[in-house]
Structure 1
Amino acid sequence: MPDFANMSKNGMLTKIHTRIRSDPFTANYDLAGKELGRGKFAVVKKCIEKSTGKQYAAKFLRLRRKGEDCRKDILNEIAVLESAKLNPYVVALHEVYETSHDIVLVLECAAGGEIFNQCVGDSDEAFTEEDVIRLVKQILNGVAFLHRNNVVHLDLKPQNILLTSARPLGDIRIVDFGLSRRMDSITEVREILGTPEYVAPEILNYEPISTATDMWSIGVLVYFMLTGDSPFLGDNKQETFLNISQISVDYSEETFEGISPLAVDFIKTLLVKNPRVRATAEECLTHPWLCPVSRPHLLTTSSSSSSSSHCSSLDEPETSQSESEPESPAPSPEMAVIETYALLCPGKSELKTGRAAFSFSESPFPTRPEIKQELIC
């Protein structure tokens, strides 16, 4: 359970239980291969633990960013990972080291890479609807665990959902808790942060953040996994924000060709402007689209969001080759720097920029020409 006594006013935890080691990281680990990803203030590299020969992902987080001490941000990320240690769908934290310039998080290595890669892959590599159903159930079970512990991720997107194995298709691991916050029933958290295409309307309106904020992002994520298109992405940030504010979504048969009406109905329960009526993670797990009894009718059956059909909320992890013999992720080019920018809200003074979040992706939607991934903070 969250330790609210050690929580700051903006929902960030200030106390951790993991020992931060000061002995040299390289005394216990060998760095292997190229970088797995890079952001403005972080870099992830594969490493091998010398004593066991096991592979891990080492996330190097800079302690000072733009001249400011960011230790509290890193401690918050560690604290969230600690609270999710019993969650099989959240990347596991193994150890923490500190150097003069960085804090190093030694994390479980998800060898299958980002689900983003298969969302935009060739037709023979892309997810089938059955694949998406299995992965979405895992994502929802992982997020439901976080929400039961009053944690909101606030940056759910394809780049932050990794796979234990790409072929055969493994299980998901949710990563990058740099923007995560803890909620309680007393304190309201209002911040402008996230990745533009995935932020909920309440973020743009500077309204209180809640677990429903993550559910909007999951709706966008599922849309992207099924179609390969970003539902709200415009030619610039302003157009993207306008599309989100107006809930401008293309549900045409052309866009969802070959995809079941149940899948479209599922997305519609999430891309709802009012967070109070948006489906929760637990409610989503009972939707007919995710129920085995409904699957034979995927292409012919439509359902309303109020359907009483029920299915189990549990989705056991499937054993993949990566558990016994991890495959090495393909070398990837250096990641584009994620930019931060100030968002000007109507009727409000300019809001300060925050920190950039780490991403495992070079570009959020390469199906469109050179659109940089940016961050609202």
Structure 2
Amino acid sequence: MPREVDGPSWKKHADDIRDIYEFRDVLGTGAFSEVILAEEKTTQKLVAIKCIAKKALEGKESSIENEIAVLHKIKHPNIVALDDIYECGGHLYLIMQLVSGGELFDRIVEKGFYTERDASRLICQVLDAVKYLHDMGIVHRDLKPENLLYYSLEEDSKIMISDFGLSKMEGSGSVLSTACGTPGYVAPEVLAQKPYSKAVDCWSIGVIAYILLCGYPPFYDENDAKLFEQILKAEYEFDSPYWDDISDSAKDFIRHLMEKDPEKRFTCEQALQHPWIAGDTALDKNIHQSVSEQIKKNFAKSKWKVPTLAAAGTAVQSLPRNWRPLAHPSSRAAFDTVAGGLGIWRREGSILRGRVVVG
């Protein structure tokens, strides 16, 4: 039976976690954790358990404790929930809400009909959830499509934000300075190693909105230095013919989020009030063919339509998550995007290592 233990108020102790949960399948692995599909014995509720070997945390204790502290505070319908945490033997066990609807890109590719309005509804949910985080003083710092998961397989399923491995509690009036995140989604001020705050999440939402409307990323180059230079200068285009059928309102929305100056960049609250989100300017024209083709080219997986279970911020599936190089449709220049558990990125032969992204 679980019992309270000395230490943080959110931590419980169990002699054997398997007395409480029946372990079923391994859903995936992260840098120093494993995610297990399990059933709570008393309720038959399915959960995802992130199993973390404490020995593997040596030197990383603050990182995982930060993730736990952040997740435990969060209660929002569009954010993957941490239900409980147990300490047992040499492991920590994070009991996470099970999210079974699959990844964002998979769902878009599978659709036969997809419009600006669909993208607007998705971004609205993300904005609402991130505004909630910002109101709590939490900066996610690693928002990207891979961290947006569907709650269920239902067609009208809500979208969920996962992966708080890079999240940071922001004190009153404080700014952050650790360079982190995922290349291609990070704001200019992060790459410039300048102090930054909540505005970095708004930039990332702008990048996600851009991709949702064309299927390829706004920044692309196989050379790291050139890629970073594009981001630092906020150099991006609405290329023809991919953007020809996209509304001016959508482009205006993106420009306000992908604003180089964080002081001028839209906040989540301002973005939620933009006509493309709050009004009726998002078009109903079907853009599925163009967008899905570009997603498959630029975010190609070995297979599509693979059933996905995801939780605890780690999207998992029956095949390895090998993301091939991103390539812009006009230039074919590419840069690697290898997704790792807990938002940790690795790139062979590159300066990108672990959580730090610096020039």
Residues 370 and 30 from structure 1, CA distance in 2 versus in 1: closer, same or farther, beyond 3 angstroms?
farther
Residues 118 and 259 from structure 1, CA distance in 2 versus in 1: closer, same or farther, beyond 3 angstroms?
farther
- 1:37-116 alignment runs, 5 A limit: 37-65=28-56, 68-85=58-75, 87-116=76-105
What is the aligned partner in structure 1 of residue 158 from structure 2? 171
What is the aligned partner in structure 2 of residue 371 from structure 1? 336
Does structure 2 retain, via aligned residues, the 8 Å contact 1:34–1:46? yes
Question: Secondary structure of the equivalent of 2:206?
Answer: helix
Equivalent of 2:127 in 116, 122, 140: 140
Which runs of no fewer than 5 residues in structure 2 stay unpaired?
Answer: 1-6, 286-305, 328-333, 339-344, 346-353
Residues 283 and 298 from structure 1, CA distance in 2 versus in 1: closer, same or farther, beyond 3 angstroms?
farther
Deviation at 1:223, TM superposition (A): 1.2
Question: Secondary structure of the equivalent of 1:207?
Answer: coil
Does structure 1 retain, via aligned residues, the 8 Å contact 2:103–2:308? no
Does structure 2 retain, via aligned residues, the 8 Å contact 1:159–1:359? no
What is the aligned partner in structure 2 of residue 234 from structure 1? 221
Q: What's the RMSD between the two structures over aligned residues?
A: 2.8
What is the aligned partner in structure 1 of residue 187 from structure 2? 200
Cα offsets for 1:178-203 (capped at 9, x unmatched): 11111224544210111111111111
Which runs of no fewer than 5 residues in structure 1 stay unpaired?
Answer: 1-14, 300-328, 333-356
**Which whole-Å CA distance do the structure 2 matches of 1:253 and 1:123 have between them?**
24
Question: Aligned pairs, how many?
Answer: 305
Cα offsets for 1:81-107 (capped at 9, x unmatched): 22212x221111111122444322111
**Which whole-Å CA distance do the structure 1 matches of 2:308 and 2:78 have between them?**
24
Question: Secondary structure of the equivalent of 2:99?
Answer: coil
Equivalent of 2:13 in 18, 21, 46: 21
Equivalent of 2:140 in 153, 160, 169: 153
What is the aligned partner in structure 2 of residue 248 from structure 1? 235
Of stretches 136-145 and 90-99 in structure 1, the one that deviates more from structure 2 is: 90-99
**Which whole-Å CA distance do the structure 1 matches of 2:62 and 2:165 have between them?**
11
Residues 144 and 331 from structure 1, CA distance in 2 versus in 1: closer, same or farther, beyond 3 angstroms?
closer
Equivalent of 1:32 in 24, 32, 35: 24
**Which whole-Å CA distance do the structure 1 matches of 2:247 and 2:322 have between them?**
29
Does structure 1 retain, via aligned residues, the 8 Å contact 2:103–2:315? yes
Give the 4+ runs in structure 1 shifted more than 6 A.
none
Equivalent of 1:330 in 307, 326, 332: 307
Question: Secondary structure of the equivalent of 1:105?
Answer: strand
Q: Which amino acid aligns with 1:114?
A: E
Residues 90 and 331 from structure 1, CA distance in 2 versus in 1: closer, same or farther, beyond 3 angstroms?
closer
Cα offsets for 1:287-321 (capped at 9, x unmatched): 000124434x677xxxxxxxxxxxxxxxxxxxxxx
What is the aligned partner in structure 2 of residue 286 from structure 1? 273
**Which whole-Å CA distance do the structure 2 matches of 1:150 and 1:101 have between them?**
32
Residues 123 and 149 from structure 1, CA distance in 2 versus in 1: closer, same or farther, beyond 3 angstroms?
closer
Residues 255 and 199 from structure 1, CA distance in 2 versus in 1: closer, same or farther, beyond 3 angstroms?
same
Residues 258 and 59 from structure 1, CA distance in 2 versus in 1: closer, same or farther, beyond 3 angstroms?
farther
**Which whole-Å CA distance do the structure 2 matches of 1:363 and 1:117 have between them?**
14
**Which whole-Å CA distance do the structure 1 matches of 2:198 and 2:89 have between them?**
36
Cα offsets for 1:159-194 (capped at 9, x unmatched): 111111234131122111111111224544210111
**Which whole-Å CA distance do the structure 1 matches of 2:324 and 2:249 have between them?**
25
**Which whole-Å CA distance do the structure 2 matches of 1:260 and 1:23 have between them?**
59
Residues 365 and 292 from structure 1, CA distance in 2 versus in 1: closer, same or farther, beyond 3 angstroms?
farther
Question: Secondary structure of the equivalent of 1:176?
Answer: coil
Of stretches 93-102 and 189-198 in structure 1, the one that deviates more from structure 2 is: 93-102
**Which whole-Å CA distance do the structure 2 matches of 1:240 and 1:95 have between them?**
41
Residues 229 and 365 from structure 1, CA distance in 2 versus in 1: closer, same or farther, beyond 3 angstroms?
farther
Question: Secondary structure of the equivalent of 1:45?
Answer: strand
**Which whole-Å CA distance do the structure 2 matches of 1:137 and 1:275 have between them?**
20
Of stretches 169-178 and 135-144 in structure 1, the one that deviates more from structure 2 is: 169-178
- 1:179-328 alignment runs, 5 A limit: 179-295=166-282
